[in-house]
Amino acid sequence: MCQPCDSLVTSCPMSAGISSSPPATPKRDKKKEYLEKKERGELSAQKVDFLKQNILRPVDLTVTNDGQLHFGDVVMLVNMGGEKRQCSALSINADINSLTKTPSLAIQAPCGVSAGRGIQACTRTAFIITSVDGSQEGSTLHYEQSFALKTTSGFAGGLFLTSDLQSFQKCAKKSRLQEVNLDHGGSFLSWWKIVHFDPQERLEYEGQPIPANVSVLIIHCKTNQALAVLGDHILWNMYDKEYEITARTFLDSHKAEQDSNHWILCTSDPAGKGLVLLNHPQSAANSKELTQANPGI
């Protein structure tokens, strides 16, 4: 004889009071992963905020009492601009992929550089004049003397401004010219020297102390190419529209270096009024003072 329908129902495990949890869904897994990343501070938005908070932290530049540059000075490298360029400063071009966790959160090498239009003395734009020939910290830097430019310690990693001969595998991303970046170590690839911006007076100034806040050329010792900012090669990054940096000497019809190669190593105004640029050779910028302004990021 066939069993009644009621007996079939009661024999079903579900009807006996046995429950089971709902199966995990991809949506639920993604939410759990999101919350875990948020708790660890690993969301992209959190990383961007962390990076900006640290890399845009204000830095006190050196106040020069004798008007000259010295080993150990903390300076900004500013290009006053030109036909296709606004005034810009040599800057660390770091994004969230540039961060390393070991031994502590900091910018890892190698890291790119760019010319940012925000003239603000901060971790991103501060560089330390560093000796490579045994010169004592505090001693005066002279024209044609080799030195290195190093980022500040801590979050910026104490990385050296470095360049090397251009190759197919190693070159600037936009222009394909000689690459300039930040890297570990103080090898010969990170040696630079400063020469007078006027080629007719260059020999006369060789070996003389270098004044702060005047226009100069920064030459890479190995390749003999001048540090340059390229107004026609734009980099769009998390800091806004910026210019590519390269090591390339650009000459005009008189065989003098163009303004894309002119740099000012800026120090702080003793009166506390920001960055002061003294004795700048271009008439439009004579005795011009740049105030430290947030680039509005």
Per-residue pLDDT tens over the stretch 20-57: 555 556 677 776 666 655 555 566 788 888 899 999 99
Tell me what pLDDT residue 153 has.
Answer: 93
| Global pTM value | 0.80
- Partners of 131 in the beta sheet? 147
Quick one: which of 228, 36, 244, 210 has its CA closest to 139? Answer: 210
Q: How far apart are CA 149 and CA 89, in angstroms?
A: 14
Q: How far apart are CA 130 and CA 276, in angstroms?
A: 22
Query: Which residues, other chains included, contact 279 with Cβ-Cβ below 8 Å and sequence gap of 6+?
Result: 211, 213, 214, 286, 287
Quick one: which of 154, 157, 146 has its CA closest to 182? Answer: 157
Tell me what pLDDT residue 181 has.
Answer: 96
Tell me what pLDDT residue 48 has.
Answer: 86
Q: How far is CA 132 from the centre of its chain?
A: 22
Q: How far apart are CA 226 and CA 249, in angstroms?
A: 5
Q: Using an 8 Å Cβ cutoff, are 297 and 118 in contact?
A: yes
Tell me what pLDDT residue 103 has.
Answer: 65
DSSP code of residue 141 = P
DSSP code of residue 35 = H
Q: Which residue has the higher pLDDT, 281 or 142?
A: 142
- pLDDT bracket for residue 14 (50, 70, 90): very low
Q: What is the CA radius of gyration of the chain?
A: 28
